[in-house]
Amino acid sequence: MKGNSLTTLFIIHCSLFIIFSSCSVSRQIAKQANTILLKDSAVSTGHIGISIYDPVANKYLYDYNSSHYFIPASNTKLFTLYAGMKYLGDSLPGAQIIEYADEVDVKATGDPTFLNSEYPFQPLYKYLTSTSKYIWSIPSDWQANHLGRGWAWDDYNSDYMAERSALPIYGNLVTFSGKKESIQFYPKVSKIENFRFDNVNAEGEFITKVQRDINQNIFAITLGGNQPNKIQIPFHTSESLSFHLLEDTIKKSIGFLKDNYTTPIKTFTIHSQPTDSLFKPMMHRSDNFFAEQTLLMASNEHLGYMNDEKIIDTILNKDLKDVPQRPKWVDGSGLSRYNLFTPQDFIYILNKMKNDFGLERMKTILATGGEGTLSSYYKKDAGFIYAKTGTLSNNCALSGYLITKKGKLFLFSILANNYITGATPIRRAVERFVEQLREKY
C-alpha cells in the first residue's frame, strides 16, 4: 500500500509540475508579446491576433485575439496547400486523353506547369508532338471565373495576377522585350487577330512599360529605357485561345468542333510534374497563379469539374469540418480581401498537415529563414523556422512551425491588419518576437 501511495504522489507531483511549468511558459510568452509586439509603435496603429501552440502537449501556450477574424493575405495558401496535398496525389494531372483509332481528344485539367519555362520536362507536349493521330480539343469541365471574387480589378495588368484558366499555357503570361524597331513578344500568335500592339509610344530606345486593355489582348507599349528589359503581362484567357497557342507551339492543327463520336480505344491522364515541385514555389515565392490553379485542379480531381467555390465549400464541410472558427475562404491565393481567417484556424491547418503529411515534407515545401519570402528575415534561424508569409497593403501575416533551442516544436500564427505603416516594421517586430520564442524555450 505504501508503494502505491508513493507512486500516486509521484504522479500528482509530476502532473502539478507540468501544469505549473506550462502556466509559467504562458506567462512568459504573454510578457514577451506585450513588450515586443503589442506595444510596438507600428503594430499598435492596427489590430493583431496571435496564437502559439504546443502540439505535443496539445495546448495553446498563448492566445491574443486568436479567435477573431483577420484578412490573412497569402496565408490563405496554407488552406489551398492542404487541398492540393489531399487531392492531387504525388503528380499533377496534365490533361485527360481519349484515344480513338485515328484521332485523340484532349481535355484540359488546369495544370499551370504546361509549357511553363520553369519545367523543362513536358510530357503532354511530348505526347502531342509525337502522335500521328489528328488532335481534337474537347470542352473542359470549367465552372469558374477567370478572376477571383474580390480581387482588385486594377491589378489585372500585373504579373502576379495572371488569369485562371482550364488550359494554362506559358503561365498565362506574355513576355515583351526589345527596343525600337525590334520589339519581341512571346508566345507568338499568328492566328489571333486581336493579339496585337495597339500603340508604340517611341519616346526612347528600350521597352519600359506594357499596358493591356482590360477586356482584350490589345497592348500599348512605351519605350524610354536605357537598357534591355523584359516585362510580363497576363493575357486575357479563353480555352480556345489556349488551344490556338498550343497549335502554334506544336505546329499542328487542332480541331475545335467535333460532332461525331465512336468508341474510344482507351482513356487516360497524362501526369506532368511531381506535386511538390509545384507546391514549393507556390509557398516559397507565394505564387498566386500556382495557388489558384492548385485549388481548381483539386476541384477537378475530387468533384469532376473546376469550381473554386464548390471545392472550398466541400472541404470545409467534410475534411475541415472541425476547424475552430469556420473561415470565410473565397480564393486559392489570398488576393481577395473577402478572405477572413482566425489565428487558431491556421494553427489547426498547420497541425493537420503535420499529422496527415508529416513535418519533414512540410519542411521541404515551406520557406525557412533566408529563403523565398523570408529571404530578408530569420537568417540566423534558417532550418528552425518554416513558415508562410502574407502581404496586402495594410495587412501582413506569418504562420508556421518553429523549433526552439530546447528542441520543442511550436506552431504559431500572427495576423496583423489595418496598421498605417508599411509592412517592414510590422515584420521586424514579429521577427523579434518569434526569435525570442526560439531563444527562451
State whether residue 441 is helix, strand or coil. Answer: coil
Same domain, 333 and 246: no
pLDDT(229) > 70: yes
Strands 173-177 and 184-186: antiparallel
Domain presence at residue 334: yes
Same domain, 167 and 289: no
| Predicted local distance difference test score (pLDDT) of residue 16 | 47
55-90 confidence digits (pLDDT tens) = 999 999 999 999 999 999 999 999 999 999 999 999
Domain presence at residue 371: yes
For 253, how many CA atoms within 13 A lie in the half-sphere containing its CB?
A: 5
More confident residue, 385 or 193: 385
Q: From 217, 251, 273, give the residue that closes a domain.
A: 273
Mean per-residue pLDDT, 281-288: 98
Same domain, 392 and 409: yes
| Predicted local distance difference test score (pLDDT) of residue 1 | 52
- Asked whether 191 and 197 are in contact (CB, 8 A), the reply is no
Please state which of the ranges 68-82, 245-259, 321-335, 367-381 shows the lowest mean pLDDT: 245-259
More confident residue, 330 or 3: 330
Q: Is the peptide bond before 187 cis (omega within 30 degrees of 0)?
A: yes
Question: How much is the mean pLDDT over the chain?
Answer: 92
CATH of the domain at 343: 3.40.710.10
What share of the chain in percent tops pLDDT 70?
Answer: 91
pLDDT(435) > 90: yes
pLDDT(21) > 80: no
Same domain, 191 and 337: no
In this prediction, residue 219 has a pLDDT band, given cuts at 50, 70 and 90, of: confident
| Predicted local distance difference test score (pLDDT) of residue 221 | 86
In this prediction, residue 294 has a pLDDT band, given cuts at 50, 70 and 90, of: very high
More confident residue, 193 or 169: 169
Mean per-residue pLDDT, 195-224: 80
Please state which of the ranges 133-142, 206-215, 347-356 shows the lowest mean pLDDT: 206-215
Same domain, 306 and 393: yes
| Predicted local distance difference test score (pLDDT) of residue 185 | 87
Domain presence at residue 16: no
| Predicted local distance difference test score (pLDDT) of residue 188 | 76
Q: Which residues of 1-31 are buried (b: 16+ CB within 10 A; e: fewer)?
A: eeeeeeeeeeeeeeeeeeeeeeeebbebbbe
Mean per-residue pLDDT, 302-313: 98
Mean per-residue pLDDT, 130-158: 96
- Asked whether 69 and 77 are in contact (CB, 8 A), the reply is no
Expressed as residue numbers, the domain containing 249 is 93-273
Q: Which residues of 219-230 are buried (b: 16+ CB within 10 A; e: fewer)?
A: bebbbeeeeeee
d(Cα 18, Cα 12) in Å, to the nearest integer? 10
Same domain, 308 and 207: no
Domain presence at residue 4: no
Domain presence at residue 231: yes
Same domain, 81 and 119: no
pTM for this predicted structure: 0.92
Same domain, 228 and 189: yes
pLDDT(256) > 90: no
- Residues with Cβ within 8 Å of 193's Cβ and at least 6 positions away in sequence, in order, are none
Q: From 255, 273, 291, give the residue that closes a domain.
A: 273
pLDDT(10) > 70: no
pLDDT(209) > 60: yes
Query: Within 10 Å of residue 267's Cβ, how many Cβ atoms?
Result: 11
Strand partners, 93: 271
Highest mean pLDDT, choosing among 11-15, 55-59, 262-266: 55-59
Number of domains in the chain: 2
Same domain, 269 and 311: no
Highest mean pLDDT, choosing among 88-97, 213-222, 252-261: 88-97
Closest C-alpha to 305, from 104, 99, 166, 164: 166
pLDDT(15) > 70: no
What share of the chain in percent tops pLDDT 90?
Answer: 82
pLDDT(197) > 80: no
Same domain, 404 and 286: yes
Domain presence at residue 222: yes
pLDDT(5) > 70: no
pLDDT(156) > 60: yes
In this prediction, residue 193 has a pLDDT band, given cuts at 50, 70 and 90, of: very low
Same domain, 123 and 257: yes
- Asked whether 239 and 91 are in contact (CB, 8 A), the reply is no
Q: 3-state SS of 260-322?
A: CCCCCCEEEEEEEEEHHHHHHHHHHCCCHHHHHHHHHHHHHHHHCCECHHHHHHHHHHCCCCC
| Predicted local distance difference test score (pLDDT) of residue 11 | 52
Domain presence at residue 62: yes
d(Cα 37, Cα 51) in Å, to the nearest integer? 13
In this prediction, residue 293 has a pLDDT band, given cuts at 50, 70 and 90, of: very high
Q: From 238, 254, 273, give the residue that closes a domain.
A: 273
Domain presence at residue 113: yes
Same domain, 180 and 316: no
